[in-house]
């Protein structure tokens, strides 16, 4: 999430972690492991959620956090399993999900949607993201979907229409009944569409409408950030975004300008349904602006 307050917070945390390691008395930051299913665990740390599936065939890793956390993440993965890393999957191009690719690709190929490689290779002048080095670029790309047959599980990689970004991939661990959403969903409810990476708020709603019916009952849902969730949590997140859209649409139909609608604070009722970093007045104003821009752009008049 290159220009979001969340990424600024993430970078601050990573810098703080590096500073902490410089003092012998300070504990070293790292990742904690949470078992999700037989052979599948969630590593949480540095504001990242990393899913690791380990078995006789080897290890599959979903996302690599930021570059500053890559070594700590690699060590945490190796603590979970002594088996070799077979595959690494990127859920999208944002650096807090793909920043460790160069480190992990020394051990296994990185798989991503083809737009992820393109965006990482070109960088983004608007957000200040520099082009990634060749060693960091995913070496296996796809469009649509693909399946990895590893450790007795069918791991399905599904590319969704542009929403959070234009390269969003949801990962389904079929046997384990674990679904990794990337930033298509963030606990406690709503994510956002990054227009600088080909996404949008209306597209994010369409993404969730497509993927929700495909999430099995009882599945453990791993959001891009936040707590392990359920299918019902994803449904509530979709309902929040649909409610936000309806509130802004009502203002547009009423002929209100962006300034008038923003002053009415139409999204404040959902303050508790967005991640903490997005709950400030300024952040919610940004969500109003993004919905307003997209809704008026598709209006016939």
- Please say if the pLDDT value at position 127 is more than 80: yes
CB 73 within 8 A of CB 65: yes
Domain span at 40: 30-298
Note whether residue 24 is domain-resident: no
Note whether residue 253 is domain-resident: yes
Note whether residue 100 is domain-resident: yes
- Residue 189's pLDDT is 87
Please report, rounded to a whole number, the percentage of residues in the chain having pLDDT higher than 90. Answer: 86
Tens of pLDDT, residues 113-123: 999 999 999 99
Summarize the confidence of residues 58-80 as an average pLDDT: 97
Q: Count of domains in the chain?
A: 1
Note whether residue 1 is domain-resident: no
Note whether residue 5 is domain-resident: no
Tens of pLDDT, residues 237-268: 999 999 999 999 999 999 999 999 999 999 99
- Residue 28's pLDDT is 53
**Residue 74, domain CATH:** 3.60.15.10
Note whether residue 9 is domain-resident: no
Note whether residue 290 is domain-resident: yes
Query: What token pair was written down for 278?
Result: 């997005």
Cα separations (Å) of 68 from 14, 128, 129? 6, 17, 15
Note whether residue 129 is domain-resident: yes
- Residue 9's pLDDT is 39
């Amino acid at each position: 999430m290159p220009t979001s307050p969340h990424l600024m917070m993430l970078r601050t945390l990573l810098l703080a972690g590096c500073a902490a390691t410089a003092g012998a008395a300070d504990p070293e930051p790292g990742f904690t492991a949470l078992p999700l299913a037989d052979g599948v665990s969630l590593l949480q740390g540095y504001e990242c959620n990393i899913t690791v599936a380990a078995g006789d065939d080897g290890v599959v890793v979903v996302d690599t956090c930021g570059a500053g956390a890559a070594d700590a993440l690699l060590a945490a993965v190796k603590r979970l399993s002594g088996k070799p890393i077979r595959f690494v999957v990127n859920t999208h191009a944002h650096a807090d999900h793909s920043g460790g690719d160069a480190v992990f690709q020394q051990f296994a190929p990185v798989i991503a949607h083809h737009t992820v490689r393109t965006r990482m290779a070109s960088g983004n002048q608007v957000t200040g993201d520099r082009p990634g080095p060749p060693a960091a670029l995913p070496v296996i790309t796809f469009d649509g979907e693909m399946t990895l047959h590893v450790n007795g599980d069918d791991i399905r990689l599904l590319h969704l229409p542009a929403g959070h970004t234009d390269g969003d991939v949801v990962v389904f661990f079929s046997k384990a009944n674990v679904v990794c959403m990337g930033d298509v969903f963030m606990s406690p409810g709503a994510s956002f569409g990054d227009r600088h990476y080909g996404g949008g708020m209306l597209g994010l709603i369409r993404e969730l409408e497509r993927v929700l019916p495909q999430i099995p009952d009882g599945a453990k849902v791993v959001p891009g950030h936040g707590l392990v969730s359920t299918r019902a949590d994803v449904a509530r997140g979709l309902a929040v975004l649909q409610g936000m859209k309806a509130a802004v649409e009502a203002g547009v139909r009423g002929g209100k300008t962006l300034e008038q609608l923003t002053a009415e604070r139409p999204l404040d009722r959902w303050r508790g349904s967005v991640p903490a970093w997005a709950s400030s007045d300024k952040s919610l104003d940004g969500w109003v602006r993004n919905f307003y821009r997209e809704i008026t752009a598709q209006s016939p008049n």
